[in-house]
């Protein structure tokens, strides 16, 4: 169970991409550029149809005012006013149908694209995270990574859903309406477009100012996600220590920080719309007054004036929505920096290209291995050399901090040795594919982990194609079949998140059965009996004698009684093997192992803790 981290504990921030996020997003979506072009074309066509009604209104006024001298009359050769209006009505119906259809197609494509990019970004990021080494997860909180995989990816989808469509139709609106204005009256075009430079300049300024604010919002979102993930995972500990109020205060502080950073960004972005509205007011008023004056003087026709009044509103009013779109854009770009920042992290432990020869014998050798968890820190292992012949059971024992569990992590290539070599069947494990290396291993960790699902789903996790008979056989060998079959739904019983519906011993036996079912060449048990009672431990020892026959088995243990029958026992101290031999040889030798054995079999009954 994950316990909550202490208040104020330092957290490593999610790395941010330094590449302009929009350029990175365009490169990431290169496989969908055809759909982007098509959706953009439909957005442009939709806007062209959208501004046509204003032209038709001006034409209708022109028909009523000028009759046979109207533009429609000269275009279609129709003198009767009613016939001209009928023609305009037909054209209007066609235009509206095209506008509705193109809007449907454009928005549908943009939304489909948004969902596709969201899915691919989440899966690519998650797949990349899975390829990173374990040290990355030790340096970054699970809550922060969850915020990237969920919240940041969703934020990107919210912008792509309609943001590009709105930006395209806004830009197209300026171009299309501008062309009409300049054709009809360059003077009115100049006056109507006067506010646009102010709006564009204001947009650029706001974009620059919003970027760091939304970066702080995304960072605060990651922090609150960290806190909630930690607190929910450590709920049992919180309750046991009556720490509910302290955790409530911690969540409250992080939630307030998130709220306050959001408020600052919202306050700044919301001020954008009123400024745009003032600019729109100036342009509309100038068109109304100057255009009206020209119409009264007869410089422009009444129908043209009517059209330009509507066109001015059509030109400037959509710009009032620019603030909302810009807000979505900046939130999405802040999220992109975090998503692509994670994607740019290069894994330092890469798989080899060699597969183990079949059948895998399981001979394991550590040859002068040195290791430190971080550069500059003291080494945990110092010249470790262990030779485990195929088919033998070897145990590694020692006091806390001696480096026992580190040996297992290096064997699975969760970490890389600083120097030295580890081989499996004579092949350096650094040259093996992960599938071949880890496929030959059955691992039972000290920190038991079960997935939320049924007993059967957890047992078959390493071998999904296992038959019911094989599942039951593995459960029997792990002394788990009896309690499983006593459950209400048997093997279909839900175990709860991390197996919380089961006892510690039951969870441990299920993980042993899961490893046994995989039928690995090398079985690795890291404190596999640490959470079981003496009776269950004895039962597991009996089953281990059966499953380890003909199979290489490496046992990390603090209960020496668990490993007394091993072919060879390696005693570690301060990252070195200081003794090695059978149980009887080591007891007779009178060294560290003999001292540990006396402690565990003495009157105190004390046991080593790893």
333-374 residue pLDDT tens: 888 998 999 999 888 889 999 999 889 899 999 999 999 887
pLDDT above 80 for 603? no
CA 219: distance to chain centroid? 15
The pLDDT of residue 604 is 39
217 token code pair? 């919002």
Cβ atoms of residues 577 and 368 within 8 Å: no
pTM: 0.75
Cβ atoms of residues 15 and 144 within 8 Å: no
pLDDT above 70 for 153? yes
Cβ atoms of residues 508 and 480 within 8 Å: no
Tell me the C-alpha distance between 219 and 127, whole Å: 22
- Tens-place pLDDT, residues 546-567: 777 778 999 988 778 788 888 9
Compute the average pLDDT of residues 560-583: 89
Compute the average pLDDT of residues 493-508: 81
The pLDDT of residue 43 is 93
> E-strand spans in 97-171?
none
The pLDDT of residue 450 is 84
97-102: which pairs have CB atoms within 8 A and are 24 or more residues apart?
Answer: 98/45, 98/49, 99/46, 99/49, 99/50, 99/52, 102/42, 102/45, 102/46, 102/49
Q: Which comes out higher in pLDDT, residue 154 or 70?
A: 154
Q: Which comes out higher in pLDDT, residue 153 or 225?
A: 153
**% of the chain surpassing 70 pLDDT:** 86
Tell me the C-alpha distance between 484 and 455, whole Å: 8
Cβ atoms of residues 46 and 106 within 8 Å: yes
Lowest mean pLDDT among 63-72, 288-297, 359-368, 485-494: 63-72
The pLDDT of residue 11 is 52
The pLDDT of residue 533 is 66
Q: DSSP 3-state assignment of 408?
A: helix
The pLDDT of residue 2 is 41
Which of 561, 586, 562 lies closest to 572, judged by CA?
586
The pLDDT of residue 237 is 67
Query: Which 8-state DSSP code applies to residue 32?
Result: G
The pLDDT of residue 15 is 76
Cβ atoms of residues 442 and 462 within 8 Å: yes
Compute the average pLDDT of residues 248-256: 86
The pLDDT of residue 262 is 83
Phi, psi of 560 (to 5 degrees): -65, -25
pLDDT above 50 for 273? yes
Q: Given the structure tokens 């969850």, which residue do they identify?
A: 146
Average pLDDT, the chain: 82
pLDDT above 70 for 4? no
Q: Which comes out higher in pLDDT, residue 434 or 537?
A: 434
- Tens-place pLDDT, residues 317-336: 677 677 678 778 888 888 89
pLDDT above 80 for 218? no
The pLDDT of residue 10 is 46
532 token code pair? 């079981």
**Beta partners for residue 364, in sequence order:** 388, 424
For the four alpha carbons of 463, 464, 466 and 472, in that order, the dihedral sign comes to positive
Cis peptide before 429 (omega within 30 of 0): no
pLDDT above 80 for 458? yes
The pLDDT of residue 554 is 92
Compute the average pLDDT of residues 175-196: 76
The pLDDT of residue 532 is 63
Q: Which comes out higher in pLDDT, residue 199 or 49?
A: 49
CA-based Rg of the chain, rounded to a whole angstrom?
36
Compute the average pLDDT of residues 476-502: 85
Sorting pLDDT into bands at 50, 70 and 90, what band is 582?
very high
> Per mean pLDDT, which of 400-404, 416-420, 598-602 is the most reliable?
416-420
- Tens-place pLDDT, residues 405-423: 899 999 999 899 999 999 9
């Amino acid at each position: 169970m994950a316990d909550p981290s202490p208040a104020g504990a330092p957290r490593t921030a999610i790395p941010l991409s330094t590449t302009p996020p929009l350029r990175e997003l365009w490169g990431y979506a290169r496989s969908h550029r055809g759909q982007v072009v098509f959706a953009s074309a439909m957005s442009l066509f939709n806007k062209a149809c959208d501004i046509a009604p204003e032209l038709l209104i001006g034409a209708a006024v022109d028909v009523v005012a000028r009759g046979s001298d109207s533009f429609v009359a000269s275009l279609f050769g129709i003198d009767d006013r009613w016939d001209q209006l009928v023609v305009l009505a037909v054209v209007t119906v066609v235009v509206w149908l095209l506008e509705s259809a193109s809007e449907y197609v454009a928005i549908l494509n943009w939304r489909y694209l948004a969902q596709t990019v969201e899915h691919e970004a989440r899966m690519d990021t998650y797949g990349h995270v899975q390829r990173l080494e374990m040290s990355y997860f030790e340096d970054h909180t699970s809550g922060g990574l969850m915020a990237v995989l969920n919240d940041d990816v969703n934020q990107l989808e919210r912008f792509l859903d309609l943001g590009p469509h709105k930006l395209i139709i806004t830009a197209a609106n300026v171009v299309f309406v501008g062309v009409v204005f300049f054709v009809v009256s360059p003077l009115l075009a100049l006056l109507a477009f006067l506010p646009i430079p102010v709006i564009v300049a204001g947009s650029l300024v706001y974009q620059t100012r919003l970027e760091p604010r939304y970066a702080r919002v995304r960072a605060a979102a990651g922090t609150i996600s960290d806190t909630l993930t930690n607190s929910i995972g450590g709920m049992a500990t919180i309750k046991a220590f009556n720490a509910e109020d302290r955790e409530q205060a911690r969540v409250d502080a992080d939630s307030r920080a998130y709220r306050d950073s959001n408020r600052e960004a919202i306050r700044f972005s919301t001020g954008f719309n009123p400024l745009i509205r003032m600019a729109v007011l100036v342009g509309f008023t100038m068109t109304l007054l100057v255009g009206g004056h020209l119409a009264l003087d007869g410089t422009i026709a009444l129908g043209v004036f009517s059209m330009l009044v509507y066109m001015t509103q059509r030109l400037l009013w959509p710009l009032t929505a620019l603030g909302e779109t810009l807000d979505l854009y900046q939130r999405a770009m802040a999220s992109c920096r975090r998503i692509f920042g994670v994607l740019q992290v290069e894994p330092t432990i890469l798989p080899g290209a060699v597969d183990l020869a079949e059948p895998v014998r399981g001979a394991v050798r550590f040859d002068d291995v040195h290791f430190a968890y971080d550069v500059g820190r003291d080494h945990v292992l110092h010249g470790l050399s262990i030779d485990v012949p195929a088919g033998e059971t070897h145990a590694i024992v020692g006091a806390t901090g001696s480096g026992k569990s580190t040996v297992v992590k290096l064997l699975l290539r969760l970490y890389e040795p600083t120097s030295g070599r580890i081989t499996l069947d004579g092949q350096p494990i650094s040259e093996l594919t992960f599938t071949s290396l880890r496929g030959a291993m059955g691992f039972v960790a000290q920190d038991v982990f079960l997935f939320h699902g049924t007993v059967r789903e957890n047992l078959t996790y390493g071998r999904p194609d296992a038959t019911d008979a094989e599942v039951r056989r593995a459960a029997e060998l792990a002394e788990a079949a009896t309690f499983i079959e006593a459950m209400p739904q048997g093997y279909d019983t839900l175990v709860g998140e991390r197996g919380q519906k089961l006892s510690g011993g039951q969870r441990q036996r299920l993980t042993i059965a899961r490893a046994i079912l995989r039928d690995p060449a090398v079985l690795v048990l890291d404190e596999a009996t640490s959470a079981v009672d003496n009776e269950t431990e004895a039962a597991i020892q009996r089953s281990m004698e059966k499953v380890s026959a003909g199979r290489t088995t490496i046992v990390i243990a603090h209960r020496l009684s668990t490993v007394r029958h091993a072919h060879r026992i390696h005693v570690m101290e301060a990252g070195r093997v200081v003794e090695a031999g059978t149980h009887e040889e080591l007891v007779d030798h009178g060294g560290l192992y003999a001292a540990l054995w006396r402690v565990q079999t003495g009157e105190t009954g004390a046991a080593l803790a790893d």
